[in-house]
Structure 1
Amino acid sequence: MLRDLAEAQWPARAGLAALTAALGAANIRWVGGAVRDGLLGAEVHDVDCATRLLPAEVIDRCRAAGIRTVPTGIAHGTVTAILTDGPVEITTLRRDVETDGRRATIAFASDWREDAARRDFTINALYAHPVTLEISDYFGGLDDLRAQRVRFIGSARQRIAEDHLRILRYYRFQARFGAALDDEAESACAALAHTLKGLSRERIAAELLALLALPDPHATLARMRKNGVLGVILPEACAAQLAALARLIAAEREQGFAPDPVRRLAALLPPSPEVAETVAARLRLSKAQRIRLVTAAERGPSDAENPRMLAYRLTPPLAIDRLLLGGSDARVLEGWSVPSFPLKGGTIVARGVSAGPEVARILHEVEARWVAEGFPDSARIGQLLDEALASRPRTG
């Protein structure tokens, strides 16, 4: 059962009331995710606004009302209003003039239904009046929300031909909101899977990681593999790796770790640093994401022997990745801070060792034993240093 939008908290934000006063209630509608999630009773962060006004007039009216704007997507009619309770993207009503599957040439429009017709799914084309919160639903989005069905507006094949990324968006939205599968959408995504090859790697990576961040995307990814979609964007994800993902999701849930998309991406790859490097480069991942992926690929059975030693060497987050991927209990690292090795080279020099490689060797030896013994106190470090010095070969 859908909620009354008036029960949601976000429509009462003071900034939205100020924006409505500036632009005029007749000229704007809240649209998209905020409306959809508000009807479902889900938490809402970002609010989007559709308007009949042209971008220049939006800017002028906001300026007159003391609202700062940023032309974040002015070429496509989008201006972002900076409000005290969060930014709002304001986009002039549009219609597509020409599309090639990667980008669209648009023209501004004045009709709400015409704007709705160019959106992807019926559940994303719900408009709410800024004052009355009355819903305008042109393509059956409310019924689809009730049925937990993700359905393209109009022809699924046509919608995908306009923007190939909608294949991946379909699977992400279906994993999040869907229960019943839409046969037309499933068929269209399978038939047009090859068109994903023409998209930028960054757009594919963003959608894939967003899907992997959902509570349990395993069934969706398995269906993507069956339909030939996963093989286009991540051919390394074979049946064995999907099984590894299922085990990881179960371990995260059992041990109380939040879903992590990069960790889950690592589960979809064989434990090979070379493969991880290749995939990170192909998806244009950030340096931090690449390091996580490659480090996770170096996992092995010995990781579970001394989790804190692993965390000392890698950092706790990277060690948690490896333990969960290896099927081990990572909870031992929760809240644990990596200790600092207190022994310094100057202490060794003061004991009669000449500065140079020998000091570094002794430091490394003592540190290795200190870690292996579970990070004992300074008294034990002193004993370890004594033993290391005593075992040095005598000269002369």
Structure 2
Amino acid sequence: MTDRLPPTDWLNDPRTVAVMDALEIQGGPDCARFVGGCVRNALVGKPVLDIDIATRLTPDRVIAAATAAGLKPVPTGVEHGTVTVVSSKRPYEVTTLRRDVETDGRRAVVAFTDDWAEDAARRDFRLNALYADRSGVIFDPTGRGIEDAKAGRIVFVGEAETRIREDALRILRFFRFQAHFGRGDLDADGLAACARLSELVEGLSAERVSTELLKLLAADDPRPTVRSMAEAGVLARVLPGHAGLSVFETMVDVSPDPALRLSALLPADADVVREAAARLRLSNALRDRLAAAVDDGTVQAVSTAVQARAAVYRLGGRVVLDRLARRQAAGADPTTLSEARAVATDWTPPRLPVGGREIAALGIAPGPETGRLLKAFEAAWIAADFPTTGHAQRLARLARG
């Protein structure tokens, strides 16, 4: 029985059809097949976000085919055989069949081929080495990819150690794919190879590591996989000095946000968090968010709506919500946090209702006294829970001392 993809919209999308028509006009029938994630996801019923195409055509012929068809070719990675073909604003990564000539654990030198099996042999896992023609017929060069996808098994193509030495990022991809697609125990040979070669992770670029880590943490339930990473010694390579798994285990139930899950793996020390963020080359925004999620006591004491509004005014709703999530993950009763969480989610802090002009109207010359009065007024206004009237009287009392 021939395996086919289930009915799927993207396969017959006019934009997809236009790309496949263009390639086949240039290279004939069966010169191009869908490959990797789109085939795997369609097979197991997960959403297809990106569509990759493998082809026997060389990059120059892909560009010629796209141009002749009125599509837009973008040479995003021609040295590795990849041309992005844009069809009615939708991008399709079209990559020439390849075989590895030389690898160093971080990057590969490739040669083009017209052999589907050679192309499959250089891929990471058997469930990712699946191809499908435009009619949906699936091709499985390793002979086990369809079976693995349906069973939720993440198994390296060929020998695990060989695949890892070609690109050490495959250690993290092994765990990431297990978190998203795996069911049951991790493949024993693959896990052993990842543990044995875990030190190779330290030679990877920080950006590649952090991207894989955040994708892993975005899985519905990454806890079993992260436990296995820790036992294999891989987590310590990625996050030296991590805080253990106890808060993380609870945080997974608290929030699906990978940033908060990462925060729960890090110590409750803002300086240490910043160091970890720098080591992972996280964006400035994510670095600052992770550091701000470490509570300095401001939110630790919050239990009422009044206290929550004061905290949101000073810190912002996002910071308060993150700190509340960490409190809950650390063991706080969520019912005691609900009022504060509602305020942080829905309340918009008002602007300070007085400024230098109101102080000048009291006959006070611009200078240090203006700043002192503004700070004193703001503190009193916050303590009174942001009243909307009586500002002039309150300011006058403060000015009188």
CA–CA distance in structure 2, aligned partners of residues 164 and 42 of structure 1: 27
Structure 1 counterpart of 2:323: 322
Structure 1 counterpart of 2:395: 385
Q: Call closer, same or farther: CA 1:291–1:224 in 2, change over 3 Å.
A: same
| Amino acid in the other structure paired with 2:237 | V
CA–CA distance in structure 2, aligned partners of residues 179 and 71 of structure 1: 38
CA–CA distance in structure 1, aligned partners of residues 5 and 183 of structure 2: 22
Structure 1 counterpart of 2:333: none
**Offset at 1:158?**
0.9
2:252 paired residue among 239, 249, 253: 249
Structure 2 counterpart of 1:285: 282
| Amino acid in the other structure paired with 2:39 | V
Q: Call closer, same or farther: CA 1:152–1:82 in 2, change over 3 Å.
A: same
| Moved segments of 4+, more than 4 Å | none
Provide the TM-score with structure 1 as the length reference: 0.91
2:332 is the counterpart of 1:335: no
2:287 is the counterpart of 1:295: no
2:236 is the counterpart of 1:231: yes
Structure 1 counterpart of 2:378: 367
CA RMSD of aligned residues (A): 1.7
| Amino acid in the other structure paired with 2:370 | V
Structure 1 counterpart of 2:199: 194
CA–CA distance in structure 1, aligned partners of residues 75 and 303 of structure 2: 51
Aligned residue for 2:90, secondary structure, equals coil
CA–CA distance in structure 2, aligned partners of residues 143 and 201 of structure 1: 34
CA–CA distance in structure 2, aligned partners of residues 74 and 334 of structure 1: 46
Q: Call closer, same or farther: CA 1:52–1:230 in 2, change over 3 Å.
A: same
CA–CA distance in structure 1, aligned partners of residues 351 and 79 of structure 2: 52
| Amino acid in the other structure paired with 1:388 | L
**Offset at 1:127?**
0.5
2:260 paired residue among 240, 260, 263: 263
Q: Deviations over 1:76-106 (max 9, x none)?
A: 0101011225211110000001111111110
CA–CA distance in structure 1, aligned partners of residues 198 and 303 of structure 2: 40
Structure 1 counterpart of 2:173: 169
Aligned residue for 1:338, secondary structure, equals coil
Q: Deviations over 1:50-97 (max 9, x none)?
A: 111000010111011110111111110101011225211110000001
Aligned residue for 1:19, secondary structure, equals helix
2:361 paired residue among 329, 350, 358: 350
**Offset at 1:299?**
4.2
CA–CA distance in structure 2, aligned partners of residues 356 and 376 of structure 1: 27
| Amino acid in the other structure paired with 1:186 | L
Q: Deviations over 1:253-311 (max 9, x none)?
A: xxxxxx22222211111111110121111111111111112112244323556223222
Q: Is the 8 A contact 2:97 2:113 kept in 1?
A: yes
Q: Deviations over 1:195-249 (max 9, x none)?
A: 111111111111111111222212211111111111111122243xx11112222
Q: Is the 8 A contact 1:236 1:268 kept in 2?
A: no
Structure 1 counterpart of 2:137: 134
Q: Is the 8 A contact 1:144 1:151 kept in 2?
A: yes
Structure 1 residue runs of 5 or longer lacking an equivalent are 253-258
Q: Is the 8 A contact 2:4 2:136 kept in 1?
A: no
CA–CA distance in structure 1, aligned partners of residues 211 and 166 of structure 2: 19
Equivalent pairs: percent with the same residue? Answer: 45
CA–CA distance in structure 1, aligned partners of residues 350 and 397 of structure 2: 22
| Amino acid in the other structure paired with 1:341 | L
| Amino acid in the other structure paired with 1:104 | A
2:61 is the counterpart of 1:51: no
CA–CA distance in structure 1, aligned partners of residues 224 and 21 of structure 2: 46
CA–CA distance in structure 1, aligned partners of residues 205 and 276 of structure 2: 14
| Amino acid in the other structure paired with 2:112 | F
**Offset at 1:145?**
1.4
Paired residue total: 379
2:222 is the counterpart of 1:222: no
| Amino acid in the other structure paired with 1:198 | G
CA–CA distance in structure 2, aligned partners of residues 353 and 388 of structure 1: 12
CA–CA distance in structure 1, aligned partners of residues 373 and 82 of structure 2: 62
| Amino acid in the other structure paired with 1:386 | A
Q: Call closer, same or farther: CA 1:58–1:333 in 2, change over 3 Å.
A: same
Q: Is the 8 A contact 2:362 2:396 kept in 1?
A: no
Provide the TM-score with structure 2 as the length reference: 0.90
Q: Is the 8 A contact 1:153 1:159 kept in 2?
A: yes
Structure 2 counterpart of 1:274: 271
Greater Cα offset, 150-159 or 353-362: 353-362
Query: Where do 1:16-31 residues align within 5 Å?
Result: 16-24=16-24, 25-31=29-35
Query: Where do 1:82-101 residues align within 5 Å?
Result: 82-84=86-88, 86-101=90-105
CA–CA distance in structure 1, aligned partners of residues 68 and 90 of structure 2: 19
Q: Call closer, same or farther: CA 1:72–1:325 in 2, change over 3 Å.
A: same
Structure 2 counterpart of 1:121: 125
**Offset at 1:312?**
1.8
